[in-house]
Amino acid sequence: MTDLWQDAMDHAVSAARGAGQVVREALLEDRMVMVKSSSVDLVTQTDQKVEQLIIQSVKEKFPTHRFIGEESVAAGEPCVLSDEPTWIIDPIDGTTNFVHRFPFVAVSIGFSVNKQVEFGVVYSCLEDKMFTARRGRGSFCNGDPLQVSDQKAIKQSIIATEFGSDRDPEVVDKIFSSLRNILCIPVHGIRSAGTAAINMCLVASGCVEAYYEIGMHVWDLAAASLIVSEAGGVLMDVEGGPFDLMSRRVIAANNRTIAERISGEIQAYAPARDDAA
């Protein structure tokens, strides 16, 4: 059978590697920080430059493909997941980490067709770890296969989550209430890498049993969602329903039992969807 998307995936890996080099070089220089939706939702010229570099290189090779890019959407481009081949790009996942030189920063490139992710590439550029997955063909880190943890007991688990950039006190109360419930199960620990994509790759690698968050975006999730499921993990909405890429809510876990237990402890809320008009 013709392998329709291997060429695109090879391009994504090389674009992510090139982008990672730009990010590493930018870390050695002064970074001009700008704000987006609030004073804690940060963006730099490097986010914008890297996204344009990736999009330009893809356009040259695949001129009919579409894009959802974090910084293009911030600049007013529509955020539409259609059935067409679509590249879903976060040029720097972990921008706040990047600004502070906290050493977890990823370039995330997902690719969907018929609204289904066909491949995902997450390049953790300071660790030089290239996470990849093709639908139906497994997940890998620097070429080595990934497998989620086989831990069945939530009380012997580490759970990853993030605090996001919403500082509305009601939202913050819900975040802390969920965190308290989960911590007091009790679990072994709670961790935050500062990037949704790397948190999810940690689930795929078996280092943490689960990651949950409300508020991140499709570009943070698309590539890593496939990396988790191809490593044997499950994806779920925070209220236990099916995972929806555009809903800005996710539980990514090593198994359904742990995902369902976490969903029972989360104080859910619904931020505006990524595809809200």
Residue numbers belonging to the annotated binding site: 70, 90, 92-93, 220
What x-and-dash track marks residues 128-167 binding ligand IPD by CB under 6 A? ----------------------------------x-x---
**Residue-wise DSSP of the chain:** ---TTHHHHHHHHHHHHHHHHHHHHHTTS---EEESSSTTSEEEHHHHHHHHHHHHHHHHH-TT-EEEEHHHHHTT------SS-EEEEEEEE-HHHHHHT-S--EEEEEEEETTEEEEEEEEETTTTEEEEEETTS-EEETTEE--------GGG-EEEE---S---HHHHHHHHHHHHHHHTTT-SEEE--S-HHHHHHHHHHTSSSEEEEES--HHHHHHHHHHHHHTT-EEE-TTSSB--TTSSEEEEESSHHHHHHHHTT-----PPPTT--
Q: Among residues 55, 92, 159, 266, which one is catalytic? A: 92
Closest distance to ligand IPD from the beta carbon of 47 (Å)? 8
Short-list 175, 198, 162, 202, CA closest to 266: 175
- Binding to ligand IPD by residue 220, rule CB under 6 A? yes
- Residue span binding ligand IPD (CB under 6 A) among the ranges 18-26, 75-83, 146-154, 214-222: 214-222
Rounded to a whole number of angstroms, the minimum distance from the CB of residue 97 to ligand IPD is 7
- For ligand IPD, the closer of residues 45 and 156 by Cβ is 45
**Identified binder of ligand IPD from the candidate list 18, 103, 206, 215, rule CB under 6 A:** 215
Residues 4 and 7: their CA atoms lie apart, in Å, by: 7
Active-site annotation holds for 92? yes
Site string for ligand IPD, 160-179 (x = CB under 6 A): --x-x---------------
Whose Cβ is closer to ligand IPD: residue 120's or residue 194's?
A: 194
Per CB under 6 A, 196 contacts ligand IPD: yes
Task: Return the number of the residue (122 or 133) whose C-beta is nearest ligand IPD.
Answer: 122
- Whether residue 132 lies in the annotated active site: no
To the nearest 10 degrees (0 to 180), the angle between helices 196-205 and 218-230 is 0
Nearer to ligand IPD, 113 or 221 (CB): 221
Q: 216 vs 266, which CB is nearer to ligand IPD?
A: 216
Judged by CB, which is closer to ligand IPD: 113, or 238?
A: 238
Give the residue ranges of the annotated binding site for Mg(2+): 70, 90, 92-93, 220
What mask, x for binding ligand IPD by CB under 6 A, covers residues 80 to 99? ----------x--xxx----
Is residue 220 annotated as part of the catalytic site, yes or no?
yes
Instruction: Please give the residue whose beta carbon sits closest to ligand IPD in the complex.
Output: 162
Binding residues for ligand IPD (CB under 6 A): 70, 90, 93-95, 162, 164, 194-196, 213, 215-217, 220
Catalytic residues: 70, 90, 92-93, 95, 220
